[in-house]
Structure 1
Amino acid sequence: MGKGEPVGVQTVLVPDPGPGEVVVKVQACGVCHTDLHYREGGINDEFPFLLGHEAAGVVEQVGEGVHNVSPGEFVILNWRAVCGQCRACRRGRPWYCFDTFNAAQPMTLASGQPLSPALGIGAFAEKTLVHSGQCTPVDPRVRPEVAGLLGCGVMAGLGAAINTGGVGRGDTVAVIGCGGVGGAAVAGAVLAGASKVIAVDVDQRKLDWATGFGATHTLNAREGGDVVARVQELTGGFGADVVIDAVGRPETWKQAFYARDLAGTVVLVGVPTPDMRLELPLIDFFSRGGSLKSSWYGDCLPSRDFPLLVDLHLQGRLPLEKFVTEQIALDQVEQSFERMQRGDVLRSVVVFD
């Protein structure tokens, strides 16, 4: 596969695990917008890629020195296996780890050409090779197609609300952009006990999805009226305590900035492109106070967050199943990209027999 070319199915050779490595039999893997970015060359140019990273499956083999997982365990894969030794880890902030692990050995095509696994995982395959730290055991009663979504987009949104934004009981929250990540931010705000959750989007379908995740109010930005003023109107004229930008564009970030209450919090979880720029009066930064944050992977610690969120799902308190729009076969990924670009799905999930 070259830049911008349609994805295809090919034979992948997966080596036996070396020290610290694990082979996982993949049971399900979500189709994330990041996979499309890889295909388009938006991440790097290390083609060919083995796409797929929102995955869950069963550990099949472990290499020397692996003690955190065993063959037969059901795991969710994550792309930030913390090192435990860098300056962030040593300061007790492992979710900021600056030296995360991936498998040392490459997976290859039948020709021997090495593949670049998306986010160090590469799970659009029946089996994949990862570092043992990329495997988080969770309750095996959870369905794989649901569990795997915590591996990226859903965790990013949930964590943006709970971990980065610190949403608490009684807070008012606005979420701008209500696709998969924004929808998860809505669900996270509801889970954290927010009293009012305002979903903002230009697509009525996404607003309907957000309502299903617990949004108390929806604003369609295409219907006219200033978004900032409308959020303020719904929050007693003050603005929201936490505003989450799940789009990642200068115009949506500015809306988030001005739609928050004094001393409120802005969380950027949508990923901007390198060419985007912001220009704001510096006095506005000073006079409004509060916090301006970016959220990496929902500032999650997989070993802490994945089991907890799976347990909440199994208790019926976190409707992860609502993110799964469709289940598809591996050879339907290209078509799922097209549906994603049209906004027809929250998540397509590849399910393996």
Structure 2
Amino acid sequence: MPQQVRGVIARSPGAPVELVPIVLPDPGPRDVVVKVQACGVCHTDLTYREGGINDEFPFLLGHEAAGVVETVGSAVTHVEPGDFVILNWRAVCGQCRACKRGRPWYCFDTFNASVPMTLEDGTELTPALGIGAFADKTLVHEGQCTKVDPDTDPAVAGLLGCGVMAGLGAAVNTGNVGRGDSVAVLGCGGVGDAAIAGARLAGASTIIAVDTDARKFDWARELGATHTVDASAADPVEAIQELTGGFGADVVIDAVGRPETWKQAFYARDLAGTVVLVGVPTPDMKLEMPLIDFFSRGGSLKSSWYGDCLPERDFPMLIDLYRQGRLPLEKFVTERIGLDAVDRAFTTMHSGAVLRSVVVL
């Protein structure tokens, strides 16, 4: 039987979000109903609210979540009721060209639930990143569920569903940071600090945190930064070069995603170093640079989607590292809030006062 639960929706661009009744249909053959226990407030949800992703309103927001499988469709084999899972928005298909070439982290033919969640009047909802987890329960494809240790705090586990995995994976998977490397991270919000934590986990010897808000540097240091640069008071390119013997960093990660920060990342890297773009630019942004600079410096210029992760591989491993005390994921949880406080959390996010607000149900 369909269920009625609460969910946070965005009806139109820029309008305040609303906590309303939504209808959860019976799962299709490979669908799963998940009782949400926690969901992080990610900047991507705000971008959905502002109409920056697409115009398929109304949106059911929330995607950085963990919870317990409640019911499953008739053909589900991947999970069963009672499993504690992190929800992921890259349920790889296994059949596309990228998957068949052994690069499933590039898969874009991902699975979502086969039937829509709706408002009470039947209006279909578009779930954020195919998940929609600012809700008591949500409906997803079985491939969007990754089982992890059930003794893990859901508020911590859920953050691997997006922001923390994006940043950490940008360092470890995309940037291929290794022991003794020097790393600079531009932007010390949740994604940037996760990249810092990933660089430390990979054994980087020098980790430089760059931001214009000096209040964020304490978080960055706690997560592994060895040096900080206030970009409002010093040229970040010159500062990074000075901290790396005049050469530049081996890997520079742009967690902001603006043309000016990408240029800083490009020129702040060592000769033949690596630039990783993980901050998400808007469609109107343009980059203009001398082509000779690309030719003469060599190296790698990469973009990182979801930290180039494979949820089934990476989520359980990272949870194990967290439970061993080697990855301080709990430091990303700044505050715990209710479903009715999501709009306020968007405002707090803009102020820079939190790494993550987490909705706890």
TM-score interval, normalised by the smaller of the two chains:
over 0.9
Q: Deviations over 1:189-208 (max 9, x none)?
A: 00000000000000112122
Q: Is the aligned partner of 1:92 residue 2:102?
A: yes
- The aligned counterpart of 2:153 is 143
Displacement of 1:135 after TM fit? 0.1
Q: Secondary structure at the match of 1:222?
A: coil
Code of the aligned partner of 1:55: A
Between the aligned partners of 1:243 and 1:313, the Cα distance in structure 2 is 25
Between the aligned partners of 2:257 and 2:245, the Cα distance in structure 1 is 27
Q: Is the aligned partner of 1:213 residue 2:219?
A: no
Code of the aligned partner of 1:119: L
Between the aligned partners of 1:128 and 1:232, the Cα distance in structure 2 is 48
Q: Deviations over 1:123-162 (max 9, x none)?
A: 0001000000000000111100000000000100000000
Q: Secondary structure at the match of 2:320?
A: helix
Q: 1:328 aligns with which of 321, 337, 340?
A: 337
Moved beyond 3 Å, runs of 4+ = none
Q: 1:281 aligns with which of 269, 290, 302?
A: 290
Task: Kindly report which structure 2 residues correspond to 1:154-165, keeping only aligned pairs within 5 A, or say none.
Answer: 154-165=164-175
Code of the aligned partner of 1:45: D
Between the aligned partners of 1:348 and 1:205, the Cα distance in structure 2 is 17
Q: Secondary structure at the match of 2:195?
A: helix
Between the aligned partners of 2:102 and 2:79, the Cα distance in structure 1 is 23
Task: Kindly report which structure 2 residues correspond to 1:270-349, keeping only aligned pairs within 5 A, or say none.
Answer: 270-349=279-358
- The aligned counterpart of 1:108 is 118
Between the aligned partners of 1:198 and 1:2, the Cα distance in structure 2 is 40
Between the aligned partners of 2:218 and 2:230, the Cα distance in structure 1 is 10
Displacement of 1:99 after TM fit? 0.6
Q: State TM-score, norm by structure 1.
A: 0.99
Between the aligned partners of 1:90 and 1:178, the Cα distance in structure 2 is 36
- The aligned counterpart of 1:175 is 185
- The aligned counterpart of 1:38 is 48
Q: Gaps spanning 5+ residues in structure 2: where? A: 1-10
Q: 1:80 aligns with which of 90, 102, 105?
A: 90
Q: Is the aligned partner of 1:249 residue 2:263?
A: no
Q: 1:15 aligns with which of 3, 20, 25?
A: 25
Between the aligned partners of 1:242 and 1:215, the Cα distance in structure 2 is 14
Q: Deviations over 1:224-276 (max 9, x none)?
A: x3211110110011100000000000100000000000110000000001111
Code of the aligned partner of 1:284: D
Q: Secondary structure at the match of 1:129?
A: strand
Between the aligned partners of 1:251 and 1:53, the Cα distance in structure 2 is 29
Q: Deviations over 1:162-215 (max 9, x none)?
A: 000000000000000010000000000000000000000001121221111010
Q: Deviations over 1:84-125 (max 9, x none)?
A: 000000000101013111011000111111111000000000
Between the aligned partners of 1:323 and 1:299, the Cα distance in structure 2 is 21
Between the aligned partners of 2:184 and 2:85, the Cα distance in structure 1 is 33
- The aligned counterpart of 1:124 is 134
RMSD: 0.6
Code of the aligned partner of 1:343: G
Q: Is the aligned partner of 1:266 residue 2:275?
A: yes
Give percent identity, aligned residues only. Answer: 77
Q: Gaps spanning 5+ residues in structure 1: where? A: none
Displacement of 1:295 after TM fit? 0.2
Between the aligned partners of 1:185 and 1:218, the Cα distance in structure 2 is 14
Q: State TM-score, norm by structure 2.
A: 0.96
